[in-house]
Amino acid sequence: MVDSINKPGRLRPAPENFLSEEQIKAVGAGRRDFLRKSFLAAGAALAAPVVARASEGDSAILNLPEWTTTLGQAVAVRPYGVPSKYEANVIRRESPGLTRVGAASVSFCPLQSLFGIITPSGLHFERHHQGWHDIDPARHRLMINGSDPEFLKKPKVYTMDDLMRLPSVSRIHFIECGANTGLEWGNVAVPTVQYTHGMLSCSEFTGVPLKLLLEDCGVDYKKARFVLAEGADGSSMTRTIPMEMVENGEVIVAWGQNGEMLRPENGYPLRLVVPGVQGVSWVKWLRRIEVGDKPYATKDEAVHYIDLMPDGLHRQYTSIQECKSVITTPSGGQQLLDKGFYNVSGVAWSGRGKIKQVDVSFDGGLNWQTARIEGPVQNKALTRFNINWVWDGKPAILQSRAIDETGYVQPTYGQLRKVRGTKSIYHNNAIQSWKVLESGEVSNVQVL
């Protein structure tokens, strides 16, 4: 029997520990039965090896199912495709540890259920400071101006049609909220990788380099050294971006996400893509770019997204997401059904460039082995790693440690806290540990 809620036969999410009552209901009444059945199948698998089961006669192979004996659905019954009903458990979720303030909230990406490096657009995490809108592209404008006329000679207003005629690029990049893994600073163990690391997604973005637009408007790079990006929502969420990031061509004014227009939740029809930089700078519903000669020190730079250091001072403008990784399978809330072979899999990323190496430990960091990196490795994008593991049925602690092309090594909690103290909310890139019990249960633990 295939447990399609997660991975075939090997892992299943623990049934109730990360679903709210509401979500369980939404998944449908059949789900509990299904899980019960898969428990029975799991029990059978434990009692007898697979070969023995087959010789007893598996009805799933002996009898023709209805999908072989009846007519299928016609094309375009669903003009826009959606996942199988058996994948109804693979959804974005709001964390039980966070409260929603009006429309300002977060939904987390189900990393435990994803493969490869691309996040399906419908599962991309969401972070809104003031809710989202489905903006009419015909009425959307992008204005580019200078805080002083000398910084930019020809201020302009672009329509979406104007922008989409320009030479575009398509690039794969990760986006991570600066607050991702934030709860772990206080050693609050949220149960699953969805909640520890799920403010992370990776897409192919299409758009025009901001550099091209600024040059179209006659920017003076000698004078204009900073860019302020503003969204069209009511959050007055604005961020300063240093001009070097724009000049190297990496910052994109994007309309495309994974081959189609951006989703409304992710900034339709226009968002800024600032590779390697924390999510807050990726301004959604982008409507204005101003160039200036100094950082703007807006509320989201002076009050939020700053790090309280052990000496009592705040660290500001720590925008680049340092090298980090996490094992997504197996991870908290899942369960190993049997000892034996597992493909341990996860993702690594660095705001400073490409991932060079990922090491995995099965004994809480005493011994490390180098994982297989699934290439081609992209600049400032998620990178998938895999490693073979034969579980002997004894307790284990699984960790991954990424190294980027600058030679930076992802730190342990001990190393990170030595520099950063314990009062931070943002920018936690420490090594994540998953503990496996003899029962096969996997949970979130911290190892210093």
Locate 297 and state its tokens: 């020190």
By a kind-dependent CB cut-off of 5 to 8 A, residue 95 interacts, out of ligand MTE, Mo ion, none, with: none
For ligand MTE, the binding residue among 92, 128, 354, 427 (CB under 6 A) is 128
Q: Which residue has its beta carbon closest to ligand MTE?
A: 231
- CA 281/CA 319 separation, integer angstroms: 8
Q: Which of 61, 36, 33, 45 is nearest to 8 (CA)?
A: 45
What is the pattern of x (binds ligand MTE, CB under 6 A) and - over residues 199-218?
A: --------------------
Distance CA 231, CA 244 (A): 22
Q: Is 231 among the residues that bind ligand MTE (CB under 6 A)?
A: yes
Instruction: Establish if 326 lies at the interface with Mo ion (CB under 5 A).
Output: no
Of 122-130, 246-254, 372-380, 406-414, the segment contacting ligand MTE by CB under 6 A is 122-130
Binding residue count for Mo ion, defined by CB under 5 A:
4
Map residues 142-181 to x or -, x wherever contact with ligand MTE holds by CB under 6 A. ---------------------------------x-x----
Contacts of ligand MTE in 316-355 (CB under 6 A): none
d(CA 277, CA 170): 18
Strand order through the sheet with 433-436: 369-370, 355-361, 396-404, 433-436, 442-445
Q: 430-433 — which CB contacts under 8 Å span 24+ positions?
A: 430/181, 430/184, 431/325, 431/365, 431/399, 431/400, 431/401, 432/181, 432/184, 432/193, 432/196, 432/197, 432/325, 432/326, 432/327, 432/399, 432/400, 433/364, 433/365, 433/397, 433/398, 433/399
* CA dist., res. 426 & res. 277, Å (int): 13
Question: Is residue 358 involved in binding ligand MTE (CB under 6 A)?
Answer: no
Of 137, 317, 162, 292, which is closest to residue 229 (Cα–Cα)?
A: 292
E strand or H helix at 107 = strand 105-107
Question: Between 273 and 312, how does the x/- string for binding to ligand MTE read (CB under 6 A)?
Answer: ------xx-xxxx---------------------------
Q: Which string of x and - marks every residue 79-98 that binds Mo ion (by CB under 5 A)?
A: --------------------
How many residues bind ligand MTE (CB under 6 A)? The answer is: 21
Contacting ligand MTE within 232-251 (CB under 6 A): 233, 235, 237
126 lies in the site for ligand MTE, by CB under 6 A? yes
Q: Least Å distance between CB 65 and Mo ion?
A: 46
Q: Which does 211 bind (CB under 5 to 8 A by kind): Mo ion, ligand MTE, none?
A: none
Interface with ligand MTE, residue 125, by CB under 6 A: yes
CB 351 within 8 A of CB 380: yes
Cα(324)–Cα(200) distance, integer angstroms: 11
DSSP 251: -
Residue among 5 and 326 whose Cβ is closer to ligand MTE: 326
Which parts of 278-317 interact with Mo ion (CB under 5 A)?
279-280
Neighbours of 311 (CB within 10 A): 6
Among 12, 31, 93, 129, binds ligand MTE (CB under 6 A): 129
> Of 127, 128, 197, 324, which one interacts with Mo ion (CB under 5 A)?
127
What residue 283 binds from ligand MTE, Mo ion, none (CB within 5 to 8 A, per partner kind)? Answer: ligand MTE
Should residue 31 be labelled a site residue for ligand MTE when binding is judged by CB under 6 A?
no
To the nearest whole angstrom, how small is the minimum distance from the Cβ of residue 325 to Mo ion? 20
Least Cβ distance, residue 232 to ligand MTE (angstroms): 7
Quickly count: other Cβ atoms within 10 Å of residue 79's Cβ: 6
DSSP letter at 229 equals E
> Side chain identity at 248, as an amino acid letter?
N
Instruction: For the segment 167-226, give every residue that binds Mo ion (CB under 5 A).
Output: 177
Bridge partners, 105 (sequence order): 128
| Contacted by 412, from Mo ion, ligand MTE, none: CB < 5 to 8 Å by type | none
Restricting to residues 362-391, which ones interact with Mo ion according to CB under 5 A?
none
Q: Which stretch binds ligand MTE (CB under 6 A): 207-215, 230-238, 316-324, 348-356?
A: 230-238
Using an 8 Å Cβ cutoff, are 435 and 335 in contact?
no
- Verify binding: residue 106, Mo ion, rule CB under 5 A: no
Peptide bond into 8 cis (omega under 30): no
Residues 6+ apart with CB under 8 A from 261: 255, 268, 269
- The partner residues of 157 in beta bridges, in order of sequence, read 143
Matching residue, tokens 């997504």: 328
DSSP state of 101: B
Which tokens belong to 362?
A: 């099965």
Residues that bind ligand MTE (CB under 6 A): 124-130, 175, 177, 231, 233, 235, 237, 265-266, 279-280, 282-285
Residues that bind Mo ion (CB under 5 A): 127, 177, 279-280
